[in-house]
A and B are shown apart, each in its own frame.
Chain A
Amino acid sequence: QTVVTQEPSLTVSPGGTITLTCASSTGAVTSGYYATWLQQRPGQAPRSLIHSTNNRHSWTPARFSGSLLGDKAALTLSGVQPEDEAEYYCLLYYGDGGAQSYVFGTGTKVTVL
C-alpha cells in the first residue's frame, strides 16, 4: 500500500518562512504526480491552494508556492500570516499502468506563534 508522508507538525513565527514536504513510498515525486496542496481549517472542507506541483489558483495568496525539492513535492509559505494556521495536505496522482488513483499525505499541522 502506497504511503505519502508529510511532517506531522511545524511551527513558524508570523512573517517567517516555512517549507512543508510530501514524500511517496514508491520513490521520487515528479511532475507526473500532479501534486496538489490543500489547506483545511477546523470544521471546514479542504481548499486547494496549489495544483499540478506549482500552479496557484486565482484565490491562492502569492505567499504560497509549490515546487519539487529533491525527491519530494514541497509547499513554501513566505511571510506567514496568523490565518495560515491550519492543517495542510498534499495529494498525489498515481497514474502508472492506467491505475488512476490518488493518495493523500498524512497531513502537516502548521502553528503560527
Chain B
Amino acid sequence: QEQLVQSGAEVKKPGASVKLSCKASGHTFSNYHVHWVRQAPGQGLEWMGIINPTGDSTRYAQKLRGRVAITMDTSTSTVYMELSSLRSEDTAVYFCARELAWTFDVWGQGTVVTVSS
C-alpha cells in the first residue's frame, strides 16, 4: 500500500527551527511532486510549498519565503520541510502530499508542531 509516513510531534520554542520528514512507503517519489500543507488549530488549509521529483526545484508560498526550505533525499525516498524562526502562529498540523499532474492522491497522516515558550 502506497503511503506517506510523517515524523512525530514536535514542541519548539519561539525562534527555534523544526525539520519534519515525509517518507514514501510502498513507492518512490519518481515522477511525483511533493507538497507541504499546514493547518492551524480551527483554521483552514494553507499551502506551503512544493518540491519536484528530482529534488532540485522548489517553490514556496510568498508568506513563508525565507523561512521555509523543502529538500529531498532520493536515496531514502524522504522529503523534509524545515521551518525556521518559529512563532506561535506556526503552531499547526503539517501535512505532506504527493501530486502528479495536479492530482493529489496520497497524503501523510500529519505532524503536530507546537510553538510555545
Contact (Cβ within 8 A) A48 B103: yes
Within 8 A of A (CB), among B72-111: 95, 97, 101-105, 107-110
Contact (Cβ within 8 A) A45 B45: no
- State whether the Cβ of B46 lies closer than 8 Å to any Cβ in chain A: yes
Contact (Cβ within 8 A) B46 A102: no
Pick the contact of A45 from B46, B61, B108 — CB < 8 Å?
A: B108
Docked complex Cα distance between A93 and B47 (Å): 11
Interface size class of A (residues with CB under 8 A): 20 to 34
- State whether the Cβ of A47 lies closer than 8 Å to any Cβ in chain B: yes
Q: How many residues of B contact A (CB 8 A)?
A: 22
Pick the contact of A46 from B45, B50, B61, B62 — CB < 8 Å?
A: B45
Docked complex Cα distance between A45 and B104 (Å): 12
Within 8 A of B (CB), among A4-24: none
Pick the contact of A104 from B44, B50, B59 — CB < 8 Å?
A: B44
Within 8 A of A (CB), among B18-72: 35, 37, 44-47, 50, 59, 61-63
In the complex, what's the smallest C-beta–C-beta distance from A40 to chain B, in angstroms?
8
Interface string of A19-63 (1 = CB under 8 A from B): 000000000000000101010100001111001100101000000
What are 7 A-B contacts with C-beta separation under 8 Å? Answer: A40-B45, A45-B107, A55-B103, A57-B105, A91-B47, A101-B47, A104-B46
Chain A contacts to B: CB under 8 angstroms: 1, 34, 36, 38, 40, 45-48, 51-52, 55, 57, 87, 89, 91, 93, 99-107
